Amino acid sequence: MPHLNYIDTIHNSIDLSRYPFAAQCQAPPYIAFIGRMAPEKGPQFAIAIAQHAGLPLKMAGNIDPAEQDFFDQQIKPHIDGQRIQYLGEVNHAQKADLLAKAAVTIFPIIWDEPFGLGMLESMACGTPVIAMNCGPVPAIIADGKSGFICSTINEFVHKIPAALQLNRTDCRQQAEALFHPTYMVSQYEQTYRQMMSQVLSSRNNLHAFQRQPS
């Protein structure tokens, strides 16, 4: 959006103390999906990915009234309570537990997500994320280290075995390095200093112009 008076991009942060780090996933392994049950969030793709990968899928997220038909027609018929589980809209403790115990979290969005906090929450728990290359995904996931970035839904299935081999400590460290509240505050401070410098420079230039003889 080139018309915006844009200075910098500062990402969200999370309280990392609220997300337990898990050095290992739960056995047997499962795939996690967290997000609104809406087409653009990709729960329908999450089901297909899990089925092709041969791993159980645990999904959590709310259903807006406008998306009830989508859920009833494309999601609900696949839910069997075993291979495909829908946990409903979970609270924070339930969400953190779901992510920490998962082998991998998938984020098969098909729109430019404004941020995607679920990816960051998963990494904070040590769980790698496989996500579609949309919106902020490349700025959140270190491809090949804290997860993988895909261009097609088919790629998700092929990346799952590699994701299971990633170091979960690297996922946590990625979250700590780039999305710690202290780092976010320092970015705001730096941006404010830059703005003030520009304002002062403009003011000095204006005063110098006004002092010029007519």
* φ, ψ dihedrals at 188, nearest 5°: -60, -45
Structure tokens at 185: 């505050």
* Predicted pLDDT of residue 206: 62
Which region among 2-6, 47-51, 149-153, 163-167 has the lowest average model confidence (pLDDT)? 2-6
* Predicted pLDDT of residue 207: 63
* Predicted pLDDT of residue 183: 85
Query: Residue 180: pLDDT band by 50, 70, 90 thresholds?
Result: confident
Mean pLDDT of 122-136: 96
Mean pLDDT of 72-96: 97
Q: Is 164 in contact with 140 (CB distance < 8 Å)?
A: no
Which region among 12-21, 25-34, 145-154, 179-188 has the lowest average model confidence (pLDDT)? 179-188
- CATH code reported for the domain at 16-178: 3.40.50.2000
pLDDT above 90: percentage of residues in the chain: 75
Mean pLDDT of 172-187: 89
3 state SS for the chain: CCCCCCCCCCCCCCCHHHCCCCCCCCCCCCEEEECCCCHHHCHHHHHHHHHHHCCCEEEECCCCHHHHHHHHHHHHHHCCCCCEEECCCCCHHHHHHHHHHCCEEEECCCCCCCCCHHHHHHHHCCCCEEEECCCCHHHHCCECCCEEEECCHHHHHHHHHHHCCCCHHHHHHHHHHHHCHHHHHHHHHHHHHHHHHHHHHHHHHHHHHHHCCC
Q: Which residues pair with 22 in a beta bridge?
A: none
